Amino acid sequence: MALDVIGIPVWNDNYAWLLHDPETGVCAVVDAPEAPPILDALDAQGWTLSLLLNTHHHPDHIGANLDLKRLTGCTIVGPRADAARIPGIDVQVGEGDTIAVGVSQATVWDTPAHTRGHITYVFDGMAFVGDTLFVAGCGRLFEGTGDQMWTAMQRYAALPGDTRLYCAHEYTLSNLRFARSLEPQNPALIAAECAAQDARAAGRFTVPTTVEQERRINPFMRAGSAEMQSVVGMMDAPGGTVLTEVRRRKDHFRG
């Protein structure tokens, strides 16, 4: 039986994700910027929090760790490579480890680049990617390299096309504007931008995305393509090198 997934808007543009196993009643939250919206959502659903799954150490992902642990008794799971920066961590995980949410199981992938210890939780049919991948984008390279980010993009791209990717921010419209500046005639990008504009105008999330959509629209996942190599003038360059240049341009984009 599939997990129920509910998105909780937090702060200006963050999402926390509630996961609920209807068979066992086990409930988890992926990342926790602040406690009140998460507690309100739990109360509205009648769910009890068992697990808090952190993807990385940034304050807009771990800010409510200690409050939620104190108020709910939840077990905090986080990256082994960054355990010292995860408040209240109980279970340290890394590449190849598994975490059960009721009868569903996630495999942990190490996906450093945005931070040195960033991890992804990969379930059957969905993955919680934190700040590694966004709709049509990727996280800034604060503590890692373009080569590391390219490795993560390739791993995501190899998942089945209908895999849902749950990221932690609503950055879609700005990411699509940048992607269109690189590939203005890409029909998938044009369609994605129209759909995202309609969704936001109606107050809907643009997340999750899918692997198949990101293969078509995400300039960072497309860094190995001839089209993206041509855009940045790096024909036949390694994907990590192209991604680094695309990320440099995104960091300075003001469109």
Catalytic residues: 56, 58, 60-61, 114, 131, 169
What is the Cβ-side half-sphere exposure of residue 190, based on CA atoms within 13 angstroms?
5
> What proportions of the chain, in percent to the nearest 5, are helix, strand and coil?
35, 25, 40
Could you write out the three-class secondary structure of 185-212?
CCHHHHHHHHHHHHHHHCCCCCCCEEHH
Q: Are 27 and 51 in contact (CB under 8 A)?
A: yes
Reference 31, options 4, 58, 50; nearest CA is 58
CA–CA distance, 21 with 28 (Å, rounded to integer): 9
